Chain A
Amino acid sequence: MLAEITLRNWLLAEIPQSKSQARCQRVYISWLAFRRNPVAVIGLLIIASLVAVAALAPWITASDGLELHLSERLQAPGSEHWFGTDELGRDIFDRIIWGSRITLYIVALVSIIVVPIGLLVGTVAGYIGGWVDTVLMRLTDIFLAFPRLILAMALVAALGPGLENAVLAIALTTWSPFARIARAEALTIRNSEFILAAQVQGVSTAGILLRHVTPLCLSSVIVRLTLDMAGIILTAAGLGFLGLGAQPPTPEWGAMISLGRQYLIDQWWVPTVPGIAILVVSLGFNLLGDGLRDVFDPKSGG
């Protein structure tokens, strides 16, 4: 108890004694602001447990989710199989756990592809302006104009079904809002004095974009990314459901619903459990994103 009090004092000291203390304080104060929003904390807990479950999957589960036990097919949830078994006798709990890895894999890959594309298009358009801006932004508008799932479906249909192609298709339909955000930020940054100062020094346009404009666009892009995660998960599940994403027997949640939907009336748990998993995780990302926006966004005060 005493140690905790002194730690808190150390973290909230008026005058930090060292640079690292100041940095810890900054993190701690952000955390205090974040903690005041209980809904955001729930979001954080959901995402944290998703990550934990995905990381610890081999220790939590009894099987790899692919083993068939035809004698135990379609068993109701119980002490043996917490979430029941599916039409091929696979344990649904295990499949959900292994499926969390696939969900995280999709989310991570899409982010890695989408953020650089969005930042590049947006900052170039916003900073250079003129006809470059017009061309890039109309291109962005074209991508924004399509319904996400339809465009992703068309792309997967062209590329061929599969998890990697689904990720590519989702990325190609997701980058446009990031480009818009980055452009809006770049527009305000490009008139700053420090950009003029960099120009006076003879920094090249690429150097200014990379070293001066992009770092300042990052925080709003990150917040937008967490808010977009739910959309990414839903699109991935949608593609899986339509048979265009991960292919069986991969325990992807959308594909699990698709295979289980014929059992909805008599063995309701087969499609319902993965549905709840999708719901909970996308809700978690939305709540977390909301909370992060409140902490990161300097314009909302606090």
Chain B
Amino acid sequence: MTRAPEAPLLSVEDLHVTYDTPTGLVRAVRGVSFELGREKLGIVGESGSGKSQTGRAILGLTAPGGQVSARRLDFEGTDLLTANHRTMRRIRGAGISMIMQDPKYSLNPVMTVGAQIEEAFRIHSKASKQEARLRTLEMLRTVKIREPERVYKAYPHEVSGGMGQRIMIAMMMIPEPDIIIADEPTSALDVTVQLQVLAVLDDMISERGMGLIFISHDLNLIASFCDRILIMYGGKVMEECTAADLGQAKHPYTRGLLNCLPSLEGGHDELPVLQRDPSWLTSPGVPE
């Protein structure tokens, strides 16, 4: 549960994502650096802090109009910034994959569940149709779906949200990527189902020794699920700490976020409002 000693899977150094909009340049990500080994890294931040943009930039799927630049963006020795389309396609799915927020929108409504998972598998392997079907059913079983034969033939509207997200996990895991980016994978789900889905995700990651980037705005969830945490604000990394040390975080932004969380013991009449300091954006890191 410590940082991997061997060479990191993914190194990001000084990543910038900029959008040229009619009202001027929007700097969504400004100079984010981190390394990822076979571990679970959490990225927390409020809406618009650039956490999802970081995930997309790694996959080379920044929306049109966005400019990505970095001193280094390196996945197992491949420079993702200069890689051509073909290389990127091979990396997507088989190297780095992403689990998206809402299974309602991220599964194709007119394709059966089985066909979608199978497609994900067959892009990256030369398996026969028969073999792909067997692997798909096995994968559905792995994500704890009962009656995989029935679900295989079902359409996305016929499955529940929690099931949909587990199907999504199966779809993204079946090409056996080295890194999974989970962009708020449980935000659209019921609280009761969240833990179930996270348990599935956790099992698969530790079993296969992958790297995980877990993007969320839920501090508690990330603290309990991840090994290491990046706290982002305004497109910059404010602080990096291990999950266990989150309680001792020093940056005023992190402290502010932690203070905003209501605790079961009560004690607050009124939750404190986070006071933002513009100087955080100009001088990142823990102020002295």
Interface residue ranges, A against B (CB under 8 Å): 19, 129, 192-194, 196-204, 207, 211-212, 215-216
Contacts and interface: CB of A to CB of B under 8 A. Distances in A.
Nearest to A205: B85
A216 B110 contact: yes
B106 interface: yes
B106 A193 contact: yes
Given A201-B171, A202-B89, A193 B123 contact: no
B168 A197 contact: yes
Contacts of B123: 201-204, 207
Given A193-B100, A193-B102, A211-B119, A200 B61 contact: yes
A194 to B, nearest CB: 4
Contacts of A199: 61, 92
A200 B119 contact: no
Contacts, number: 70
Interface string B110-124: 110000000110011
B109 interface: yes
Interface string B231-268: 00000000000000000000000000000000000000
Nearest to A213: B108
Contacts of B61: 196, 199-200
Given A199-B92, A203-B89, 6 more contacts: A197-B98, A200-B100, A201-B119, A202-B94, A203-B123, A212-B111
B93 A202 contact: yes
B68 to A, nearest CB: 15
Contacts of B88: 202
Given A211-B111, A216-B110, A197 B171 contact: yes
A198 B118 CA distance: 12
A201 B105 contact: no
B261 to A, nearest CB: 29
Contacts of B59: 200
Which has the most chain B C-beta neighbours within 10 Å: A19, A196, A207?
Answer: A196
A193 B92 contact: no
